[in-house]
Structure 1
C-alpha cells in the first residue's frame, strides 16, 4: 500500500514553472507537488506552457468557484490569449465550429439546450439495467479468460465503449476505430499532422452516421440531434462535432476512472472492503464521488481566457490573459477537504470539481456517475479476491493525454 502521507509537497520554485507540472514518481496518484506548494504559497501564479505563453494557474477551490462562473472568464478558444493544450488544439480551434466546448452565452446556452435532454438524471437512470448487463457480461468474460488479465482492455475500456455506443447509436462493431482514434486525438505527444488526420477520420465517420440517422432514425442521441437539425435548431456541422465530442468524452474518461479508481482502491484495502461489502447505494454513490475527487483525472487543466480585467484577491488578471484551472489540486484543497490526501469514501465528497464548475460543467457527468456506481458496486463484489498483479512502481502511467491514467492494469484473482 502506498503511504500517501509521505508524499512531499515540494517542487520547483522557479518564477515560471512549466505546466503541466510533473507528479512525484513515488506518489503517482497525488497532484503535482509543485502545484500543491503553489496552492499553499501563491494560489494565483503565472506558469509557462508549450508555446512560451504565460497564463495564470488557479489552484485553490474558492478561487476556481469564483472565476469559472464569471462571465468575464471565456471559453472562446479563438481569442488570441487562449492557453491551448498543445499545437494540435491551437490548430484545430481555427476550423472547429462553435460548440458547447468553445463558446460562451448565448451561443453556448442554445447549443447546450439542444443536447442536454438525453443526459438528464431521469433519462440516464433508464440505462441502469443495460449498463448492469454490460458490466456483468464483461466480468463473466474476464473470469473465463486468462488470469492475470489487463483490467483496462478486458473491462475498463469495453464498459463505457459499449454504453456510449448504445446511447449515441454508434455500431459497437466500430469500437476499435473510435477507441483508438479518440485516444490519439487526446494524446499531447502525437504529431499535429497525425492528430489532424485522425480528427478528420473521426469527423467523417460521425458525419456519415448522422446523415444515415436523418433518413433512418433510431432511439438514440444521434437520431435526436438529426431531428433537431431537420427542425433548424442546430446545423448538421454542429451536430457532427457534438457527436465527436460526446464519443471521445463518453468512453475515454470513464475507462480511466474504472482502471485508475480500481488501482486507488486496491492501494487502500480498508476503503475497498467498505465498497465491496456495502449494500447501501448512497455509500456507493459517495465512494464514486470520493474517488473522482481523489484522482481528478483531467491533467491538462480547464483552459479559459479573460475577456476583461478581473480582480481577485490582490491579483489582477488582465484582459486577454489565459487562465488554467488545476482541478486536481483544487480537489485536494485542505480548506475544503481536510486530510485531502486520504482516500475516505465516507467523507462528503459531492462538492468536488472533477467535472468542472459553472456553466461549462461536464455534460455527461450523470452518465459517468451511473456507470461508475454500477461498476464499483459489482466488480469488487463479484471478484472479491481482485488484486494488483504488478508492483505499482512498475506501472506505466500516461502523462501525455488529456486524462491521467495507466497504459495497462495487470490484475489477478
Structure 2
C-alpha cells in the first residue's frame, strides 16, 4: 500500500495547490474588474458576498455527495470546475453577470474545499501519522504563486480575458492528470474499518462543536487579513507599505507553521497542538491590542499566525474521522462553520470598531482564540471515538494514542 498511499498523497498536494492558485488568481484581478465595470464599494461587496453564499451552499451538498460517491469523485469534478469558473469573471460585462459567475466560482470552491480535505483525511489514515498540515501549507504556497503570477501578468498589461482563460486551461490539465491517483471509494472504505458508525440521518453534536473551534480560529485569520494593516495605520500611523507587513507577518508564520505542523503533531499530539496553538494566538493578539508600538504589533501578528496555523487542519482531521458513514457530512459541517467564521469575523470587528475603536474590536478574535486554547477536550473526544493515525512513540509518551489500534479505548488519550 505504500506506493499507492504516496501517489495519493502527491495527488492531494496537487489539488490543494490548484485550489490556492486558482483563488489567488481571481483575487489578484478584483481591482481590475472593479475598475472596468465601474463598481462602487457596495456593489463589489455584494458581488463578493455571492462568492461566499455559493461556497456555503455547495459545502452542504459536498458532504452528502462525498458520503454517497466518495471524495475522490467529487475532488476530480470540482478540481476541473473551479479553474473553469475563472473564465466567467474575466468576461462578465455587468454586475449581474459577474454575480452569476462568482456564484459558480464560490460553489465550485465549496465543493473542492470539502472534498479535497475529505480525501486528505482518507490518505492520512493510510499513513497512520499526521500529514494534514502539509496539505494546508501547499494551499498557502499556491496562494502565493497565484497572487504573484496575477500581479506579474497585470504589470505586463496582459488582459484578464487572456490570462484567466489560459490559467484555467493549465490548471484543468493539472487537475485532470492528477485525479487518477486519488483514493477510490473502495480504498477509502478499507481504511475506515475501525471508524464508528454515526446515527442514521443525524450528525454527531461533536461535529458542530469542532466546527465552532474552526469558526474561532478562522475569525482570527479573517481579522488578520482584513484589519491587520488598518490597525497598524491607525495605531502607529504606518504608511501603506509598512501596514502591509501586518498580514505578511501573519501569513508567513501561518504558512511556516503548517509546513512544520505535522512533525509537531506527531511529537506532541493534536490536543496539545490545538491547546498551545490557541494560547500562542492569545499571546500574540494581546500584543496587537495593548502594545501600541510597531515591532510588538508585528510580533503579535507573527505569534497569532503561528498559533492558528495547525488548528484548522487538526479540526478537519478530527471531524473527518468521527464516523464511517457520515465522514463527508461531518467534515462539511466543520468546514462550513470555519468558512463562515472567516467571512463573518471581519464585519463583526468592523461593527465594534465603529462603536469603539479598532484595538478594542480586536478583542473579539482574542477572546475566540481563548476558546480555541480550551478546546482540547473536544479534539481528545473526537480522536477517542473515531479513526485516527497511529502516533510514534514520542507522541504516545506525551499522552498520544496507543499504537495497538486505530482508536483509543479511553477518552483521556490525546491524538
Answer yes or no: same fold by TM over 0.5.
no
Question: What TM-score, normalized by structure 2, do the two folds share?
Answer: 0.26
TM-score, normalised relative to structure 1: 0.26
Looking at secondary structure, tell me which structure has more strand per residue.
1
Bigger share in helix: 2
